[in-house]
Amino acid sequence: MLLPQSLWALVTLLWLSVPSVRAQTTPVSLSFNTPVTLTGRNFSTTSTPLLFSLPSPSSPEVTVSLALVFVSNSSSAQVVPGPTGGADVYEVILSGLGLGNFTFELQTGITGVLAVYGGSAADSLEIGVSQGTTPLHAPLADVPFFGDSTANEALLFSPPFLPPTPAPQPTYPNYTLPLANTSLPSPPATQNTPNFTLFLAPLSARLTALPQTACAVRAGVTNDPRAARSAQVLAEQLWLRDSQGWRREWLVGQLTPLTNYSVYAIQDGTRLSGPLYFTTKSGDVVLVPTRTRVALLPDHGYAVPLPVPPARALVYDATNLPDSLATPLLGYLTNFTTSLLTTACDCAGCQTAYRHWLCSISFPRCGEFPQTESTSKQGEQEQPLTVPLPALVSQPSGMTPRNAALGNVSDYTALLPCLETCQAVDRACPIFLGFRCPLPDFTASASYGVGYIDSADGDVQGGGIPGVAQDQWGNVLCNAS
Ligand SMILES: *[C@@H]1O[C@H](CO)[C@@H](O)[C@H](O)[C@H]1NC(C)=O
Ligand SMILES: *[C@@H]1O[C@H](CO)[C@@H](O)[C@H](O)[C@H]1NC(C)=O
Ligand SMILES: *[C@@H]1O[C@H](CO)[C@@H](O)[C@H](O)[C@H]1NC(C)=O
Ligand SMILES: *[C@@H]1O[C@H](CO)[C@@H](O)[C@H](O)[C@H]1NC(C)=O
Ligand SMILES: *[C@@H]1O[C@H](CO)[C@@H](O)[C@H](O)[C@H]1NC(C)=O
Ligand SMILES: *[C@@H]1O[C@H](CO)[C@@H](O)[C@H](O)[C@H]1NC(C)=O
Ligand SMILES: *[C@@H]1O[C@H](CO)[C@@H](O)[C@H](O)[C@H]1NC(C)=O
Ligand SMILES: *[C@@H]1O[C@H](CO)[C@@H](O)[C@H](O)[C@H]1NC(C)=O
Ligand SMILES: *[C@@H]1O[C@H](CO)[C@@H](O)[C@H](O)[C@H]1NC(C)=O
């Protein structure tokens, strides 16, 4: 039998001691969906395996997920599964990520047995049993999402877990649209939401070098002083960021400027999502960190060039946004909605796209020219592709701001909205409104990030066609929020 190179010390011991023994101990009972954690002290130094009895299933499909073991669904009570094999004895093979699973049939009335051999003080192992074919420790396909960062704060999101309830579409003859100052949908009930926990650490803590499992990452953050010292979740809530669905949102503080962080989210204690990378901004950008916080609008959450919110609030939201900013914005939206309703049209999508675009141009997003020297040197892995330059424009103080209501802000660098944010309005809205976006190969790049998302305009700016506004490695190319 060939074993992958990446198996832990546990396997080595396994092969040094090739026992076919009877268990000395009574098996520990496992329950479905409740993982059991083993640490160094639990592992046997003799050839005696640690034995576990599998729970009796209500359906015959049982999946064992964990790190390293032999399992048996044999009807013979005598069988202790082990390296010598035998009928109905299986080895659970670990992948390079440090995770293994095995699905088999367990007949009613038969007690399955799981045996763990060897192990050392440095090892740690988590075992979970579930019914059906999804292993309890199955990694999530989606990585967390990066909202934005300042020098020492970041807005991070879990992968989406629940699609939004579709808004009732206006139908003939009753065309109404949501008010300009829309009320946010109420979050789903707690029992319908998975439990997500955020783990992040600077690259120097090397979380990505650990086995990519929930238990290894959690232990890595908890036990590493570099990881544990930094980063604190200041606030969290459920947030419907976009049509992909509800996410858990975290506002994280106490970060170090100009540092590349790796981020994981763990669902229900066992399912790992990540890594996502992001880099904090430098401390010497005037507006960061002392004056900038993250503004939260329905689908917006990024660093804006505004003073610290009043009453020491952590962020701007509908309740503390200055009237000088909110009132004109709501005026535009109300007037736009009124024009829309002058004809009988199915225009909810148009209003949504317009709101999104209006917020993106009214609230400029702070960006920063990449400090390639300092950030890329910390990298452990190669950059996957040549990343185009982001759509950044310097905004010297004293220059007339794009949004006059912002007032006289200090120097900052703006990350321009993606042109596709404008084109979405053009596409969704009726022609009579006369909404027009600038042409990609002409004037657009003065006010928009051009050529990042749609390949059609890829020859203009950026030098690459990534097809996205931002990626998992922490590159943010234009503002799609
Ligand atoms: C592992 O060891 C701890 C501490 O010695 C003990 O409390 C726990 O019951 C052990 N777990 C198993 C599954 O043997
Ligand atoms: C054990 O599981 C295997 C794979 O699912 C199945 O083919 C076999 O019939 C099972 N044995 C018993 C005794 O249930
Ligand atoms: C379960 O194990 C099989 C191989 O036995 C592997 O192909 C599959 O990716 C594993 N699934 C998970 C979620 O680890
Ligand atoms: C029209 O639709 C709105 C919201 O969709 C609803 O509140 C209102 O009662 C409806 N009016 C009529 C006359 O059906
Ligand atoms: C969520 O998970 C954490 C860590 O696993 C746990 O401490 C907490 O009690 C859980 N919360 C709920 C509501 O299940
Ligand atoms: C918008 O709605 C929020 C909450 O419903 C409210 O606190 C705020 O004052 C409203 N803003 C304006 C400008 O009416
Ligand atoms: C909205 O329309 C009214 C009436 O036409 C006008 O007085 C007002 O200035 C408009 N508001 C904005 C923000 O354009
Ligand atoms: C952060 O580190 C990762 C892993 O080394 C690397 O791939 C990524 O490019 C870095 N991100 C930035 C923005 O430098
Ligand atoms: C804006 O602020 C800068 C520096 O704080 C100052 O030099 C400039 O005169 C101000 N401009 C206006 C129009 O107030």
pLDDT, one tens digit per residue, over 344-380 is 777 888 988 998 899 888 888 888 887 764 444 444 4
Do β-strands 50-53 and 28-29 pair in parallel, antiparallel, or remain unpaired?
parallel
Residue 164 has pLDDT above 60, yes or no: yes
Closest-approaching ligand to the CA atom of 341: 4
**Measured in angstroms, how far is the CA atom of residue 140 from the centroid of ligand 5?**
18
- Tokens 């309830």 identify what position? 165
- pLDDT at residue 374, as a whole number: 44
Q: Is 202 helix (H, G, I), strand (E, B) or coil?
A: strand
Which residue has the CA at smallest separation from atom 6 of ligand 1? 42
Residue 277 has pLDDT above 90, yes or no: yes
Q: Which two tokens stand for residue 382?
A: 């190669």
Containing 356, the helix (H) or strand (E) segment is helix 348-362
pLDDT in tens, 115-159: 887 666 667 788 888 888 888 889 999 999 999 988 888 889 999
Residue 328 Cβ contacting ligand 7 at under 6 Å: yes
pLDDT confidence band for 285 (50 / 70 / 90): very low
Which residue has the CA at smallest separation from atom 10 of ligand 1? 42
pLDDT confidence band for 8 (50 / 70 / 90): very low
**Measured in angstroms, how far is the CA atom of residue 473 from the centroid of ligand 8?**
5
Q: How far apart are CA 79 and CA 77, in angstroms?
A: 6
Read off the pLDDT of each residue in 321-348 and give the average, rounded to a whole number: 83
Residue 15 has pLDDT above 50, yes or no: no
- pLDDT at residue 349, as a whole number: 86
Residue 384 has pLDDT above 60, yes or no: no
Read off the pLDDT of each residue in 19-41 and give the average, rounded to a whole number: 68
Least confident range of 97-101, 143-147, 194-198: 97-101
Q: Is 387 helix (H, G, I), strand (E, B) or coil?
A: coil
Q: Which domains does the chain have, with CATH numbers?
A: 1-136 (2.60.120), 145-378+389-446 (no CATH)
pLDDT confidence band for 85 (50 / 70 / 90): confident
Contacts of 9 (CB under 8 A, 6+ apart): 118, 119, 120, 122, 123
Read off the pLDDT of each residue in 236-249 and give the average, rounded to a whole number: 88
Read off the pLDDT of each residue in 209-223 and give the average, rounded to a whole number: 86
Residue 183 has pLDDT above 90, yes or no: no
Residue 135 Cβ contacting ligand 3 at under 6 Å: yes
Give me the phi and psi of 401, to 5 degrees please. Answer: -70, 155
Atom of ligand 6 nearest to the CA of 183: 5
Read off the pLDDT of each residue in 326-331 and give the average, rounded to a whole number: 86
- pLDDT at residue 75, as a whole number: 66
Q: Which two tokens stand for residue 405?
A: 């209501």
Read off the pLDDT of each residue in 246-266 and give the average, rounded to a whole number: 92
Q: How far apart are CA 279 and CA 476, in angstroms?
A: 10
- pLDDT at residue 253, as a whole number: 87
Residue 331 Cβ contacting ligand 7 at under 6 Å: yes
Which residue has the CA at smallest separation from atom 3 of ligand 8? 379
Measured at the CA of 324, the angle between CA 319 and CA 326, to 5 degrees, comes to 45
pLDDT in tens, 50-76: 888 777 766 555 555 444 466 766 666
Containing 297, the helix (H) or strand (E) segment is strand 294-297
Atom of ligand 1 nearest to the CA of 36: 13
DSSP 100-156: EEEEEE--TT---EEEE----TT-EEEEEEEESSS-TTPPPSSPPEEEEE-SS-EEE
Q: How far apart are CA 117 and CA 80, in angstroms?
A: 11
Which residue has the CA at smallest separation from atom 6 of ligand 6? 319
Do β-strands 294-297 and 61-66 pair in parallel, antiparallel, or remain unpaired?
unpaired
Contacts of 186 (CB under 8 A, 6+ apart): none
Residue 10 has pLDDT above 50, yes or no: no
Inter-residue contact 188 to 238 (CB < 8 Å) = yes
What rounded mean pLDDT belongs to the chain? 76
Q: Which of 289, 282, 295 is nearest to 405 (CA)?
A: 295
Atom of ligand 5 nearest to the CA of 269: 5
- pLDDT at residue 3, as a whole number: 29
Q: How far apart are CA 467 and CA 75, in angstroms?
A: 55
Q: How far apart are CA 76 and CA 112, in angstroms?
A: 10
- pLDDT at residue 78, as a whole number: 67
Beta strands per DSSP E along 164-231:
196-202
Read off the pLDDT of each residue in 390-405 and give the average, rounded to a whole number: 79
Residue 77 has pLDDT above 80, yes or no: no
Q: How far apart are CA 340 and CA 353, in angstroms?
A: 13
- pLDDT at residue 288, as a whole number: 33
Q: Which of 406, 408, 409, 412 to mutate to test the pocket of ligand 9 (most atoms within 8 A of CB)?
A: 408
Least confident range of 2-11, 309-318, 407-416: 2-11
% of the chain beyond a pLDDT of 70: 75
pLDDT confidence band for 468 (50 / 70 / 90): confident
Most confident residue range from 189-203, 336-350, 437-451:
189-203
Most confident residue range from 37-41, 137-141, 300-304, 323-327:
137-141
| One-letter identity of residue 397 | S
